Structure 1
Amino acid sequence: MNQPQFLIRRVAVTGATRLKLDFADGQALDVDLAGTIARHPVLAPLADPSVFTRVALDEWRRGVIFADDDRLALASDNLRALGVEQAGGFSHQQLLVWMAHHGLTLDAAAEALDVSRRMLAYYRSGARPIPRTVGLAMLGWEVVHGRAADPAFEYGEAA
């Protein structure tokens, strides 16, 4: 299925490790990949500007590829999540990690966050942006239940 929120229309290099991504649903996000490159040794070649600047969309528009090397590819859902998080929002991946970390089903998570199951399913799939109130409710749930958040829940860990 071609979900518009994960189809990339355009990608452009805007800095040494920065990309601007335009998605088919109209969302435009800036993504800084410096941390991702540093954390994943397989992406070390992207620190070379001659490699990073040779970015292109993959053939399905569901990710980007660098220097025509399939090993240097990043998926659109990860890029979108990283862009959302870097802009101060909450991503669908953070919701997935939160649910998995606490063993919550869709029904249990919807009840915990006081949203409908259907709306939570939209948030989880990335079809709808997660409102700040829901993101803050996830953080509040962590505090009330005295459980530490999964480190992957932190901003910038999506990719």
Structure 2
Amino acid sequence: MLFGKRKRIVKRVLIIEDEPLTAFDNEMILRDCGLEVVATHDDFEEALAALDREQVDLILSDVRLRGDRTGIDLAHEAKKRGIPLLFITGYPPDNAHELSIGCLMKPYNDRAMRQALEAIDKHLDGKPCKPPKGLQLFPITRDEAGV
């Protein structure tokens, strides 16, 4: 098909967010974008359990989570598993560029999240993209690119 839509890289997303309203809003935005939310959790252990039982193309994670472990701990685990993680936070870690594919700064609106999801999908596909305001993208590894 000459003018068909580009095949998506990101189809299944895991949301890790400790603020219930933000988590709910993110779920609705992702579903409206045609993405499957495999689970939404607010702590590290629940996130690991979801990763063990589900195929995940992208993790959206806050840095601060319920419990002792953080989104930074989750980013280390995601990196080991070759799963791209996007921090969605007001306070990104100094080494975010080593742990994630990018950061979407809070606060953000629905439009920014939609544009960020499109940019991330293109970024993971190796295509040029212009990140929307509030999104910083980092170079991706071969594992994160699905190569």
TM-score normalised by L of structure 1: 0.22
Give the structure with the larger helix fraction: 1
The structure having more radius of gyration, on CA atoms, is: 1
